[in-house]
Amino acid sequence: MTESSGTYYSTLPDGRVLLACTLPDGADETEARVLWQDREEISGEQRRKIFAICGEIAQWSAHDPEYVRKNLTADFLRANIERLQLSALSLAISGNCDKGTASLFIDFLINFCLENEVPTSKPLQEYADDLERYTYGALLHKRCVVCGKRADIHHVDQVGMGYNRNTKPQLGALVMPLCRVHHSELHTIGRTAFENRYHTVPVPMDKRIAGKYNISGKAAS
């Protein structure tokens, strides 16, 4: 068992980590709170993405980019302080954080752009750290996953004649949001060619997405 600042830990054969810590003299706590932090610090690429998106928002809002970054960082921390724990404190104090928190902050900025229809110099998809989370956010805001324009849901799973998406079970089906232009393009060139061209990643339909598009919330058979 290894010691680190009064905390003892060891890795079990199945990969789990066993933790044990010593309490101060006189302490009678029966519960402990564990704060996790990714060991990998924010990457240069992630930092560039954050500053680039904040620059796009600054141009749209006519505010100074640093003002935008600081205010959106504060909004992000207020919404995620309990979830992020130690990394959130690091981000608030020094502006640095781990890679996982940076990825979530990028998602937060992208969703801000989707929700507020912020025009960007390049597709938001190119800023995304996690394409599945980006697709999910675009679905919730009904924005084309390729160009960011108004979109409707596209069912990647092909269905037969007589299909009615308003009544047919949909939960679990692969979907993504596409505008009319890119929806037509997909049907013209096919799914494989389309996904190779635009690097799109569909996600499974869940109840939240189904509700956004007034689709039946039954599980797909």
Structural contact between residues 169 and 142, judged by C-beta atoms closer than 8 angstroms:
no
Domain for residue 213, yes or no? yes
Q: Is residue 109 part of a domain?
A: no
Cα separation, 86 vs 213, in Å, equals 37
Give pLDDT, residue 77.
Answer: 84
pLDDT of residue 72: 94
As for how many domains the chain has, the answer is 1
Q: Is the residue at 103 inside a domain?
A: no
Q: Residue 83: count other Cβ atoms within 10 Å of its Cβ.
A: 10
Cα distances (Å, whole numbers) of residue 192 to 15, 65, 117, 165, 170: 37, 39, 29, 23, 22
**Assigned token pair, 210:** 């189904």
Torsion of CA 10, 12, 13, 15, to 10 degrees: -100
Looking at residue 160, its pLDDT comes to 44
**Domain presence at residue 207:** yes
Domain assignment present for 133? no
Reported as type and span, the H/E element at residue 19 is: strand 17-21
Within the chain, which residues score under 70 in pLDDT?
1-39, 82-95, 157-169, 217-221
* Domain coverage including residue 177: 146-221
Q: What is the DSSP letter of 42?
A: P
pLDDT digits (tens, 9 = 90+) for 42-52: 899 999 999 99
Contact of 146 with 201, CB cutoff 8 Å: no
Residue 115 lies in a domain: no
Given this model, what pLDDT does residue 206 score? 93
pLDDT score of 82: 67
Domain membership flag for residue 181: yes
Q: Would you say residue 127 lies in a domain?
A: no
